[in-house]
Every structure is written in C-alpha cells, then in structure tokens.
Amino acid sequence: MFNFKLMTFLLFMAIAAQSQTKMKDVSISDLSQTVHPKDSTVSAAVLFDQGELTFDYNSGWSYALEVTNRTKIYDQDGYDQANIEISFYKGESSSERESVSHIKARIYNLEGDKIVENKIRNKDIYEEEVSDVMNQVKFTFPKVQDGSIIEYSYKYTSPHINSLPVWGFQQDIPVDFSEVTYVFPDKFLNYKPSIRGFHDVESTDRTNPGSIRVKDTQGSGSSARATVDTNIKRVIHTATDVPKIVGESYVNNISNYLSSVKYELVAYRGFGLTSPRKFLNVSWEDVTKAIYDSKNFGRQIKKQKYYKKEVQKLISKSSSELEKMNNIFDFVKERMEWNKSNSLFTSQKIKKSYAKGRGNTADINLMLTSMLQYAKLDAKPVISSTISHGIPYSPTITGLNYVTTLVKIDGEKYMLDATDKFAKPNLLPERVLNWNGIIITESGITSEIDLMSEKVSKINTMASANLSAEGVVEGKVRKAYYEHYALNFRSSVSDKSIEKQIESIEGNYDDIKVSELSITNFDDISKPVLQTYDFKTETSYVDVIGEKLYVSPLLFLVTEENPFKEKTRDYPIDFTYPRESKVSLTINIPEGFEPDYVPEKTLIALPEEVGSFQYMAVADDQKIQLTVTTNINTHILPADFYQSLKEFFQTVVDKENEKIVLKKV
C-alpha cells in the first residue's frame, strides 16, 4: 500500500497548462529596426522575457523556472548584452545544489533581405566557479552586429523553495514585454507575493481542480505511484513597455525600487490524508523564533568552552563594563578574519571558525555576542539585511542576511560589528546601514533598532599653495577623515603602498603631480585619520589671458558636476549617513598682481534645515582665502525633495566653479 507519511515523493503536475503569451518568429522588420521606438537613446532592448515556475518533490521540494529571453541590439554599446552569465548556488551537498540546464541559444542577423540564424554550440557553453558557494554558466553569442537579435532559454532548478527567485520586470535597458507564471500545488504549498516598483504590473490568477501524480523511490530502487486530487493555482504577472533603469546618484540599492515580484512560502502541508497545514513566517516573531532556534544561530551563542581561557584574561584586566566590551570587541577583530561572506547563520560549528581564525558575518558576530554574554554584559544579536541584499518589506528569513551585536551599558546602546578591522562601537560598516535591524532573544521577545548613523561624517581639507605668474600652482593638502569617511578611507588604502595611493590620487584629478604622501593615525581608530601630500599643477586650474589670471580657487578640489541630472525622480535620495565637507584654502598671489574680481559670499539652505552650503572668498594683494562648507544633515530624503536638492547642488557647482580674476599691477 502506498504510504504518504513515510515516503519521499516526486511531484509532477497533471493538469493542462493555461496558455501563455507566445513569442512570435523573428521578422525582417524586427531586424531592420535601427532605434527603439520609445527610447531612441538606448543601445539595446528586451523584446520578450518570459518565465514559468513549477514544483517537484523528490526527497524534498524543488522548483524549476524555465526562462525565455529575446533581446534586440541596436549599436556597439549594446554588444555586452550578448555575454550571458547565469549564476547559481552550488551548495555544500547535492541536496542543496541548484542547476542550470536545457540551454538553447541562437542569434539572428539580416544579410541583404535574408534572415540568417546561428546557434550556440554546447561546447561553447561552460561553467565556472565564482566563489566557494556560487558557480555560473556563461556563453557569448557570435557574429554580433548592429541590429542583431539574440534569443536564449534555460531551466533553473533549485531545492530552496522558501523564497522563490525575484522576477524583475525592469532592467538597465527597456523591456517591451515581460511575463512570469507561477503554477502552485495549492493544497500543499501556499505563497505570499510582494510586488515592488513604480511601473504597472498586471496580475491574474486562476484556480482549477486537478491532480498530481506522486512517485516514491525506495532505497532498494523500487518505486510506487499514486494520484492525489488538489487545486492547481496559476498566477500570471505581466508588464509591458517598461522603461530602462535610470542610474542616479545616492541610491543605496536600486533593486529596492524596481518593478519586480517575489514570493515567500507562508504555509505547507504533507501528503497524508489528515496532514495539518503548517504556517511559516506569519509574523516577525515567527521569523525570529525560527532563526534563534536554529542550530547555526542560538545554539552557537550558548557554546562558550572554546574561548573561556582567552576571554577570562580580558575580563580580569578590565576595570569597567565599557572597557570589558572594548577589550572583547578588539580581541575578536584582531583574531578573526572576515571571509567576505554575509550570512544569517554560522557556516559550521563556531568553535571551528574560532580555531581557523576566519568566518562569515554570523561566525564572527555571534561569537562576539557569546563572549560578551559570558562576560555578563547585556548583549544580544541583531539581524538585518545588507544594502546589496535589499530591504525585506515582509516577514521572511531569506530577506535577512546579516548579524551584528547590540550591547547596553548604563543606559547607552553600542552597536558592534567585528567583521571590519576599522569599525568601532556605533560605527558600523556602510554595507549594514540599511534602515532597521531586529534585536532577537532566546525568549522570543523582539524589537527594532535603527541602524542608520546619526553621527556626522566629515572630511576637513586644508590646503595652502603658491601661484606663479605663469599659472603654475604648488602647495600642500591636509585632509582629516571622520567617522564613516575615516572607516571607508582606512579600508580603501589598507592594502595599498604609498606609490599606489599616489597613483590613485593623480588618477582622480587632471594635471596634478603628488609627492611626500603620508598617513597619520591610521591604526588609532579613536582619532580621525590624516592624509597629507604635496602637489603641483601646471595650467589646468589657471587661465592666463593677456595680463590677467583667471583662477579656479578650489583647484582640483572643486565639485565639477551636479550629481542629480534627471528631470524627475521616483525613489528616495539616500546619503547613507549625515555628512559635511569643508575646504579651507589659501593661495599666495604672485608678485605684481592684485585682485580684479572676487565672487560674492553665498549662503543657501535646503528646506527643513536638511542641508546648507556656505561660500566665502576674500582676496588682497598677497593672498586668496577661501572657505567652502557643504552639509547634508540627514541620511535619507523622500523623492519630493529631489527638485530642491537638484537646484541646491547646481548652485554648489556654479559657485565653486566661479573664477577669481587677478590683474597685473
């Protein structure tokens, strides 16, 4: 007799498929088209993008997503579209591995009045390792030319059904038609959709009576089959004429705002006739309880034996709770190396990571939490999502991928992240600054904490220089970096020689030669890091016209262009943290010259005191003195601030690029 409770099943949908939109044959008219009909500026466009996702059960659930894509290439700037890369998770065992298969690809070109088709050969499709856990399938279309149309299809299979892959309707090129279909075994798996973006997506669903055939494969190789009645739910999401992604400055992760759909598993039931429905991730409390109860989370915090000897020494030499926290924090930062992998869960037993001195974010920061708790400090893990991972708008485990540590001492809160050698209490790496985190405890009590920094990150620049009558400028620059600017600066130069740092500075600016570069306070993260160097420019920043010198007084430190160029903007402006830039510059005037024109003092402010700009220039017969300060006093602004912000930065650019005129006496 067929046993539903004990057997593993191979599930296969036994219902006629509701027809999807069919892709038409490539025509001469398609190939002859020289510009996109709705955006003549683009170099390529997706003509057709379609997917269908179905489910199987073979010693565990899995899904298969079959994708078909057709893309038109208009000119050489679009040739990169012909390089296809499909990443997948290879896992640590066959039961975790995803796969990409059934790849078919062809390219169409127009030769005279004839359509010529070329297929990609299997030997030209290859797989390569991307990281310890990721691989990718790659292939490139041959004979790409202006007007080509490329077309490919593949099957993506995965056992990770809790969170289905995001289907993006919007890309960095226009999408004429995009459609995705989900075929759910509604009696057994129930999902909740999340649709994002500013472009309209049409959704339809239809549920019909049907059945599924299940297959059980025994260890001996024998098998049994049965048919089970169920409802088959078919959901279709369609978007047409989707504009390209418009790249703008100050967006933390554009995917948070693009038109897309994603499904999360919320309930399931087994195949037994009386199997109850079980609900998942109904609330954040459910999510956090499931996370904490995991053997690769809460259980690892409780393990203390492997570090007791070292941590006890740190405790014994600490005279206060704050010193105890700092000593343990520094110890973990020094001992552990981050492997660049963001994870909510430990990669292995945490004592193994400790022994290796290397691990992912959970390995390191759950270890830190455990040590702090051992030291009798009020420490709790904080779970969140990195900027690159996106913002989880609904309760979900897969929407989270990071762990930090919160410590409370004498009413003060300290956020810690030991994955970055240059981080300090309440100075988290920029990748973590993604709205809110969730404090979780073994008891199941949870609360949110704001991850965004309230401290102002500053760059203070002091420069002094001598100007010659021929327009040559020589001088010295001293920059002081604070808070996140200091953290980012230290990280960016930590593995660079002085020579490489000089090359980097010279590469960022036109016509500048740098020498005598030095860094101060690099290892003392309690202080601002100082960068000092000598510089020399020829005539790029001074125009010699007749008997007058037209000086760009900020030299290479000037803001050259407005970061906000689009007419409108739909999504927020994310500065990540409050910031201030201040430049104080003195230029000695060459003998025989005096000021002829000096720009007026300017002070402007953004609405609601969210930012300001101050410009002050003074000149006499001996020197030019200039002070320019720009402040942004918040980390994020809504889209309706865009026009004010665009005008603000245009004023900054215009004012900073005004010239001081010196005339010969």
Which backbone phi and psi does 143 adopt, to 5 degrees? Answer: 55, 40
CA–CA gap between residue 300 and residue 349 (Å, rounded):
7
Helix (H) or strand (E) holding 408: strand 402-409
Compute how many other C-beta atoms are within 10 angstroms of the C-beta atom of residue 504: 13
pLDDT reported for residue 18: 46
Under the banding of pLDDT at 50, 70 and 90, the label for residue 285 is: confident
Topology of the domain covering 284-450: C8orf32 fold (3.10.620)
* DSSP-assigned beta bridge partners for residue 151: 70, 106
12 SS3 class: strand
DSSP 77: G
Q: For residue 223, what are its two tokens?
A: 């098998």
pLDDT reported for residue 15: 36
Percent over 90 (pLDDT), the chain:
76
Residues 606-623, mean pLDDT to the nearest whole number: 95
Q: How far, in Å, are 109, 291, 378, 630, 661 from residue 302 at the CA level?
A: 63, 14, 14, 48, 70
CA–CA gap between residue 354 and residue 357 (Å, rounded):
5
pLDDT beyond 60 at 648: yes
424 SS3 class: strand
The strand ranges marked E within 159-281 are 167-168, 175-185, 189-196, 202-217, 223-242, 260-268, 278-279
Alpha helices in 494-545 (DSSP H): 498-508
Q: Are 606 and 645 in contact (CB under 8 A)?
A: yes
**Residue pLDDT, tens place only, 395-407:** 888 789 999 999 9
Indicate the range of 214-228, 288-302, 508-522 predicted with least confidence.
Answer: 214-228
Q: Are 418 and 364 in contact (CB under 8 A)?
A: yes
CA–CA gap between residue 486 and residue 517 (Å, rounded):
17
Q: What angle do CA 571, 640, 243 make, to 5 degrees?
A: 40
Alpha helices in 401-497 (DSSP H): 483-493
Every domain of the chain and the residues it spans: 1-15+182-276, 61-158, 284-450, 457-664
**Residue pLDDT, tens place only, 4-59:** 333 333 333 333 344 468 899 999 999 999 999 999 999 999 999 999 999 988 76
3-state helix, strand, coil in the chain (%, to 5): 20, 40, 40
State the burial class of residue 638 (Cβ atoms within 10 Å of its Cβ: 0-12, 13-18, 19+).
Answer: exposed
pLDDT beyond 60 at 590: yes
Question: Looking at domain 457-664, which CATH architecture does it have?
Answer: Sandwich (2.60)
Q: How far, in Å, are 221, 299, 333, 365, 377 from residue 407 at the CA level?
A: 55, 19, 16, 12, 7
Q: Which long-range contacts (CB under 8 A, 24 or more apart) does 490-495 make?
A: 490/422, 490/522, 490/525, 490/529, 491/420, 491/422, 493/519, 494/421, 494/422
Which backbone phi and psi does 108 adopt, to 5 degrees? Answer: -115, 135
DSSP 489-506: HHHHHTT--HHHHHHHHH
More confident residue, 256 or 549: 549
Reported pTM: 0.83
pLDDT reported for residue 10: 36
3: CB partners within 8 A, 6+ apart: 216
- Parallel/antiparallel/unpaired status of strands 579-588 and 660-664: unpaired
More confident residue, 11 or 140: 140
